[in-house]
Chain A
Amino acid sequence: MAKYGMIIDLQKCIGCNACTVACKVEHNTPNDIHYTQVLEHESGTFPNSSRTFLPTLCNHCENPPCVPVCPTRASYVRDDGIVLIDHERCIGCGACILACPYDQRSRVEDERTVFHDGLTAFINNANAAPPKGVATKCDFCYHRVDRGDVPACVETCPTRARIFGAWDEGETPLRQFLAGHDAQGLLPEKGTEPNVLYID
């Protein structure tokens, strides 16, 4: 079974947020809930100051701290490594939200999405908008992956800063890219072994 991962090229990311919107469209996430976001960080003092962009999403960890803490087994890992939440099973207790060291899970306090008046034309995602009271997060666009496409954020990125693929299947773009760079996951000290890696 292929194991999926993503590499984000921080040098290429220009903070345009095309990924943020692509994800909103794909998942019809409730207002102000983002499965991927571009964080910004400032450094230095003028005139040697700058800002950096850090795209974030669920890291689909090898050792996901969110999964064992789930009392209803709503959080689970697919064979291909994608960490998912079964919204039917989720009781919204928030244990996983606290357990995630990356702050990548949100509780749906208000399930309304854009145009919640029934006119919504958002049927382009296999995932219906999550119901009120559950935990939710990036699902690596598993519905797209299952039909052979890359996640929406990857497809849309104008600078090709995101590379998606299988770690363990021949010469994939992901492996080719990994070969030339020193890729790091976030917060390695947490021992989560993320499947989302970053290169500078």
Chain B
Amino acid sequence: MYSQKIQEKGGELVSTPTVCLGCYNSCGVKVQTVSGKVVDVVGDKEAVNSRGYICAKGRARFLDLYDPTRVLYPLKRGNPEKGIGVDPQWRRITWEEAFDIIIPRLKAVREKDPRGLVISHFDLPAYGISKAFGEAFGTNNMTWNRADYCGAAPHWCHLITNASFNGELDFKECKYMLLWGTQLGHLAETIPLLSADEMAEARRHGAKLVVIDPFCTNTAAKADEWIAIRPGTDGAMALAMANVMINDLGLYDRGFLVRRTNAVYLVQADGHYLRDGATGKPLVWDRKDETAKAFDAAGVGEPALDGVFEVAGQTCRTAFEALREHLKQFTPEWAAEITTVPAAVIRRLAADYGTAARIGATVEIDGHTMPYRPAAVHFKRGSGAHKGGAFSSFAIHLLNILVGNLDVPGGQRGVNPLGPFWQPDVDDDGMMVVAQHIAKYFKPYPARKAAVPESLDLHELLPVSLFTRGLYPLGIDQPEKFGIPYKPEVLLIGRTNPMMNSHNAQAMAETLKKFDLQVSFATFIDETAEFADIVLPDAHDFERWDLFPANDPYAFIAPGPGQWYWHMRQPSLQGPGETRPWTEVYIDIIERLGLIEDFNRVGETAWNISEKHRLDRTKRHAIKDIAERQAKTLIGDHFTFDDVSRTSCLITRDKTMEEAYPGAFVTGRLPVYFEFLIDARADLERVIAELGIEWDFRPYQPLVTYIPCLEHEPAEDGFDLHIVNFKLPFQNQSVSQQNIWLDEIGRANPYTYKVMMHPSAAKRKGLKDGDRVLVESHYGKDEGTLKVTEIVHPDCLGIPGMLGHWARNLHVALRKGTSFNTLLPPPSIERIDTLSGQIDTCARVRVTRIR
């Protein structure tokens, strides 16, 4: 009956294996077409990180291909006025007409100062294209997107401790999972299908799940215990837990701290390490013969973890001693006041978690005896996206470090710190340094030299950040303030929607208006494309090739034991109308600018193409051709496209034990004491003085601390609720709301299109369930429908997802839900974490009934 039906429609079912780009996670899927039309998308059973499963977003998104509002032709703005709600008065033009506008303008910018070109997208597999484009053109401003609202601080922690970009848990062995401001395992975070399956299985088999979140998310709903915390105060609670574990309960892994951290390094009164006079190496105190020795000296018997010592007339103490003393101020009672989590609960969690970690236990796997630590904490944007985010995240991560569970069975793990062609280094101080292949952007350690910015993202002022992509609006709005010697002029933007995904829309509108020419690559005219001068019709990812591997060669490969696998994205159908993949259009532009040779030269390195498969630098190469050369480099000369005709997932080999459990094998140390921040601060102070601007140096200190968010200051202004945002498992960022099926789920769900308020707050304000309300912060406002509920912290207003679209074309998404981001202020020095560049997402609101 099934095949009969297909034949009736006059075609055969063609199944094209590819990689979903519905979010950034790269799940293997099969796109099923009949007569060139997509009829379904199913999971690819051979794809290791999705195993044949597929989420609501991934399944539904083929509707986007056929949405009647899809952009099919190049468009030119007819109305010179730009603004929210202003009709751009689009006029259809040809591709040639579009290039006739774009190319001369780009040539002029390049002649004047190529850094006037800003490139913005959130399209991970295509970063290699924009990088080669940007470098060939001569701009350093090629990474603007909203990543700093998300993981700048958590990623920072993982890079300096796990030598990896992301963190995760060993679901199979972990018996006590503490999720802190994240929905890992609930289709809202890394490697979602695999982690959802494994975490559900772990729960079914008795693993305990504790979730700390101001709102009872889908994840908190599955927890054995949901702890509602006041937003942005996570660091305080974590510091109190660490204090209890070290100072009250003695629950910490001495062996791990001695071997794998700088806890044993001696520090002097000024905070610096005490160093060996001859070699400059940090000293430790050897208990065996009671002398100070270089940490790596032959014959160090028993490095002291605690204690105060006299060395060459100087009083010094171990870094751990300093940390332990420092933590004493963070009592559970102190934290309870700030977080609203009772002190008794903080104490109990510290004890439960520390005990569950089974410090000292070992396990033998394949002949290797390794530490076994079946308790772990994972953290992400909820706890990290705050003022002081790097330290808040680190305070939470300290709970992992204390029990020594990093990258060992049962514990917290980085996502592939060791791989087939990358591994972390160890520097002269014995500290672990993440592989460049993993860091991709900047390494947080060692610190870079601070400088007056030449980039609009101001990264030169954040010398230990990994990237500062969210800070572009600061540089674009006021380049002169930061000593930037040029102005932004042209914006090439696509697959990211800053009008909705960053901060207050009015403020972002002013930022976009700074550009003389905005070219938007778009499948839909979203809120940002409404500001474009030229709109170019972009392909859907089911219609394009991508650089190989599409799963970015580390971040979207499951960590822990398993296999190395690499995905090829390939088109399943031809795009409609005059749509073209933006990546190919970038090459069109490069060609017309006469820069193809430079583009290919930069690309060969950026794309990891071996000598043997070199490009002809004078020629244009299609993305498919580049991908083939990349695949031959990575997989071997024998690669042909036949290899990806059944599955897009190419498995090269099993992971070694070292790759599966690097924590048991690597030797580099991770910091519990940030000595390097002392010198980084001194260096930065010089530059800040030169610029004559305000700066927050509080995070530049060697011991992890708590830095409150600005909006936690007491206020008597009626703005009495903290807003808190959380992901929905069936919506992806601001891009999936135009989907009719996902909208149906949202309309049937009790929370999706609502703002959530506790009954006590509603009573205080005289509001009731179902009221239309105005939600106002000091920076922006939006409307909402009130849901009065017991599943939100009484001090908070819960606002889900990235909803509340206002672009005129998005008829399905239009005005559904409430925009959290528009309530946030634009980034400013006082609202960012000056270590990681993370932007604070705390804001207070006033909620009133709309009559």
Query: In the complex where A15-B729, A123-B39, A158-B53 touch, is A114 in contact with B740 (Cβ < 8 A)?
Result: yes
Once bound together, how far apart are the Cα atoms of A47 and B345, in whole Å? 12
Chain B proximity of A27: nearest CB distance (Å): 12
Once bound together, how far apart are the Cα atoms of A52 and B81, in whole Å? 49
Residues on A with C-beta less than 8 A from B751 are 40
Residues on A with C-beta less than 8 A from B226 are 47, 49-50
Is the pair B791, A16 in contact by a Cβ cutoff of 8 Å? Answer: no
A-contact bits for B49-76, CB 8 A (1 contact / 0 none): 0001111100110010010100000000
Is the pair A16, B196 in contact by a Cβ cutoff of 8 Å? Answer: yes
Chain A CB within 8 A of B514 CB: no
Residues on B with C-beta less than 8 A from A189 are none
Is the pair A143, B2 in contact by a Cβ cutoff of 8 Å? Answer: yes
Once bound together, how far apart are the Cα atoms of A40 and B747, in whole Å? 13
Is the pair A40, B791 in contact by a Cβ cutoff of 8 Å? Answer: no
Is the pair A121, B55 in contact by a Cβ cutoff of 8 Å? Answer: no
Residues on B with C-beta less than 8 A from A45 are 790
Is the pair A121, B37 in contact by a Cβ cutoff of 8 Å? Answer: yes
B residues 213-233 near A (Cβ < 8 Å) are 216, 218-223, 226-228
Is the pair B56, A143 in contact by a Cβ cutoff of 8 Å? Answer: no
Q: Which of A31, A34, A42, A114 contacts B791 (CB 8 A)?
A: A42
Residues on A with C-beta less than 8 A from B6 are 123
Q: Which of B185, B228, B730, B750 contacts A17 (CB 8 A)?
A: B730
B residues 168-209 near A (Cβ < 8 Å) are 185-187, 192-193, 196-197, 199-201, 203-204
Once bound together, how far apart are the Cα atoms of A125 and B789, in whole Å? 40
Q: Which of B43, B66, B187, B228 contacts A14 (CB 8 A)?
A: B187
Task: Please give me the residue from chain A that is nearest to B749 by CB atom.
Answer: A40
Residues on A with C-beta less than 8 A from B595 are none
Chain A CB within 8 A of B711 CB: no
Is the pair A12, B203 in contact by a Cβ cutoff of 8 Å? Answer: yes
Interface residues on B, range: 35 or more
Chain A proximity of B608: nearest CB distance (Å): 32
Chain B proximity of A35: nearest CB distance (Å): 12
Chain A proximity of B768: nearest CB distance (Å): 16
- Chain B CB within 10 Å — which of A11, A31, A49, A147 has the most? A49
Chain A CB within 8 A of B32 CB: yes
Once bound together, how far apart are the Cα atoms of A105 and B185, in whole Å? 33
Task: Please give me the residue from chain B that is nearest to A160 by CB atom.
Answer: B197
A-contact bits for B716-759, CB 8 A (1 contact / 0 none): 00000000000001100000000011101101111100000010
Query: In the complex where A15-B221, A31-B740, A124-B32 touch, is A42 in contact with B789 (Cβ < 8 A)?
Result: yes
Is the pair B59, A12 in contact by a Cβ cutoff of 8 Å? Answer: no
Residues on A with C-beta less than 8 A from B5 are 123, 125-126
Chain A CB within 8 A of B693 CB: no
Chain B CB within 8 A of A157 CB: yes
Task: Please give me the residue from chain A that is nearest to B758 by CB atom.
Answer: A46
Chain B CB within 8 A of A18 CB: yes
B residues 5-38 near A (Cβ < 8 Å) are 5-6, 8-9, 13, 32, 34, 37-38
Is the pair A15, B66 in contact by a Cβ cutoff of 8 Å? Answer: no
Is the pair B744, A24 in contact by a Cβ cutoff of 8 Å? Answer: yes
Chain A CB within 8 A of B40 CB: yes
Q: Which of B34, B54, B790 contacts A44 (CB 8 A)?
A: B790
Interface residues on A, range: 35 or more
Chain B CB within 8 A of A69 CB: no
Residues on B with C-beta less than 8 A from A160 are 197, 200-201
Once bound together, how far apart are the Cα atoms of A87 and B261, in whole Å? 69
Chain B proximity of A61: nearest CB distance (Å): 24
Chain B proximity of A17: nearest CB distance (Å): 5
Residues on B with C-beta less than 8 A from A16 are 55-56, 186-187, 196, 218, 729-730
Chain A CB within 8 A of B361 CB: no
B-contact bits for A10-34, CB 8 A (1 contact / 0 none): 0110111110111011100001101
Chain B CB within 8 A of A156 CB: yes
Chain B proximity of A179: nearest CB distance (Å): 15
Residues on B with C-beta less than 8 A from A146 are 1
Once bound together, how far apart are the Cα atoms of A160 and B51, in whole Å? 11
Is the pair B791, A51 in contact by a Cβ cutoff of 8 Å? Answer: yes
A residues 27-85 near B (Cβ < 8 Å) are 31-32, 34, 37, 40, 42, 44-47, 49-53
Chain B CB within 8 A of A7 CB: no
Query: In the complex where A9-B204, A50-B221, A159-B196 touch, is A124 in contact with B750 (Cβ < 8 A)?
Result: no
Chain A CB within 8 A of B417 CB: no
- Chain A CB within 10 Å — which of B66, B222, B747, B749 has the most? B222
Q: Which of A51, A143, A156 contacts B1 (CB 8 A)?
A: A143
Once bound together, how far apart are the Cα atoms of A42 and B790, in whole Å? 8
Is the pair A18, B221 in contact by a Cβ cutoff of 8 Å? Answer: no
Query: In the complex where A50-B216, A161-B200 touch, is A21 in contact with B742 (Cβ < 8 A)?
Result: yes
Chain A CB within 8 A of B794 CB: yes
Residues on A with C-beta less than 8 A from B54 are 18, 22, 156, 158
Residues on B with C-beta less than 8 A from A51 are 216, 221, 791
Once bound together, how far apart are the Cα atoms of A155 and B45, in whole Å? 11
Query: In the complex where A51-B221, A122-B39 touch, is A158 in contact with B187 (Cβ < 8 A)?
Result: yes
Task: Please give me the residue from chain A that is nearest to B57 by CB atom.
Answer: A21
Q: Which of B39, B186, B729 contacts A124 (CB 8 A)?
A: B39
Residues on A with C-beta less than 8 A from B192 are 158
Is the pair A159, B200 in contact by a Cβ cutoff of 8 Å? Answer: yes
Chain A proximity of B171: nearest CB distance (Å): 12
B residues 589-647 near A (Cβ < 8 Å) are none
Is the pair A126, B2 in contact by a Cβ cutoff of 8 Å? Answer: yes
Chain B proximity of A18: nearest CB distance (Å): 5
Chain B proximity of A63: nearest CB distance (Å): 29
Residues on A with C-beta less than 8 A from B199 are 159
Chain B proximity of A81: nearest CB distance (Å): 20
Once bound together, how far apart are the Cα atoms of A123 and B100, in whole Å? 43
Binding site for A on B (CB under 8 A): 1-2, 5-6, 8-9, 13, 32, 34, 37-40, 42-43, 52-56, 59-60, 63, 66, 68, 185-187, 192-193, 196-197, 199-201, 203-204, 216, 218-223, 226-228, 729-730, 740-742, 744-745, 747-751, 758, 789-794
- Can you list 20 A-B pairs with a CB-CB distance of less than 8 A? A11-B200, A14-B200, A15-B221, A16-B187, A18-B59, A18-B730, A21-B56, A21-B741, A24-B741, A34-B748, A40-B750, A42-B791, A47-B226, A47-B227, A50-B223, A52-B221, A115-B63, A115-B66, A123-B6, A158-B187
Binding site for B on A (CB under 8 A): 9, 11-12, 14-18, 20-22, 24-26, 31-32, 34, 37, 40, 42, 44-47, 49-53, 114-115, 117, 119, 121-126, 143, 146-147, 155-161
Task: A143-B1, A160-B201 are known; give 6 further A-B pairs, CB within 8 A.
Answer: A15-B221, A31-B744, A32-B744, A122-B39, A125-B5, A158-B192
